[in-house]
Amino acid sequence: MITMLDIAKRTNSDTTIGLVEEVVDYAPELTVFPMRNPLAGTTYKATRRLSLPQGGFRNPGEGATPGSSTYEQFVAQCFFLDYQLELDEAKASADDGSLGDLLTQETSGALMQMGLNIGQQIYYGTTADAKGFIGFSAMVDSGMVVDAGGDGNDCTSAWLVWFDHQGVELVPGGGMLPGLTHTGRWPTQQITDGNGKKMMAHVNNLRGWLGLAMNHTRALGRIHSIDRAASKPLTDKLGAELKAKFPVFMRNSGSLRWLMNSSHAGLTLQESRSAIGAVAADGGGHAAYAPEPSSLAGIPIIYTDSIANDEAAL
């Protein structure tokens, strides 16, 4: 819970500056991933066609071998998120409001933290939170990976994703849209402190059912073991190699996106392009440093802090 020291740190703050947000991690996944209509429950079944009916040319008077499609069915599941919020009414009334409404800021803070947690869950799955959905690291097919060649425990990955309801999407459940909600107000109720004594507090929570689905087995690809320290950068060659593993219809869809962090993967891609030694615009023959990459293999890049720089090389 918020302490009286926290309240003191908010009191008489400059109203022009307002609340300075030092938590700068950027997790855009909730805003860029497609999200289907909410499930009435928490699971759904989907079907993949694995092969087409076989046939071909034949000579007159000869028969042809009949064939049929083959299918498989799979299940996607949602998991429950819950962020409990409590604020002692005495502490709430002690805040002078110079930084704005405390309850509103606590709600927005919980929403920011939820976004950061979901971002990490998408890539690292049960390694990030064992009670949540599996992530990209466990979902990606072994034929959809490219090795950048790094070693050690200071590596990172770049992910290529087909954002589509038949590809990769977030799945809200429990009939909630967008799957995450709160009461909209902070009711006052009696709670118990750490010593079992009672007090009145403002309470709320942010909650919802959410899952991650990879409906097509080739909708996700990974360049792993990108290692700046070992001079194993992300390069245009590696990007083209992974892109070539995706079906042509996905490559032509306009719905492919790269997901990577800027501090490691994006930087090494920028450094690899700078090494080409482009001539500066002034014509003086000086090597120009390449601009921050906005695309790779013709596909836009989305930067996120949810992908770590301390992955173990694979």
Residue with tokens 């307002």: 18
H or E segment at 240?
A: helix 236-243
Residue with tokens 């087995």: 217
Give the bridge partners for 306, in sequence order. none
Nearest alpha carbon to residue 229 among 292, 127, 145, 311 = 311
Nearest alpha carbon to residue 128 among 177, 79, 74, 181 = 79
| Domain assignment present for 36 | yes
pLDDT at 278: 52
pLDDT at 276: 65
Gap between the Cα atoms of 299 and 143, Å rounded: 20
Most confident of 104-108, 202-206, 216-220: 216-220
Nearest alpha carbon to residue 260 among 287, 300, 297, 314 = 300
Query: Is a pLDDT exceeding 70 seen at residue 313?
Result: yes
Structural domain containing residue 147: 21-43+74-277+288-303
Q: Which residue has the higher pLDDT, 138 or 274?
A: 138
Residue type present at position 245: K
Confidence of residue 127 (pLDDT cuts 50, 70, 90): very high
Task: Write the DSSP symbol of residue 274.
Answer: H
Average pLDDT, the chain: 89
| Domain assignment present for 5 | no
Compute CA distances 232 → 198, 224, 239, whole Å.
58, 10, 13
Query: Is a pLDDT exceeding 80 seen at residue 279?
Result: no
Contacts of 234 (CB under 8 A, 6+ apart): 148, 158, 223, 226, 260, 265, 266, 268, 269, 272, 296
| Domain assignment present for 2 | no
Structural domains of the chain, count: 1
Confidence of residue 197 (pLDDT cuts 50, 70, 90): very high
* pLDDT tens profile 281-290: 555 555 678 8
pLDDT at 37: 85
Gap between the Cα atoms of 168 and 180, Å rounded: 19
Mean pLDDT across the stretch 224-249?
Answer: 97
SS3 label, residue 296: strand
| Domain assignment present for 7 | no
| Domain assignment present for 82 | yes
Residue type present at position 257: R
* pLDDT tens profile 1-23: 788 788 787 887 877 777 777 77
| Domain assignment present for 1 | no
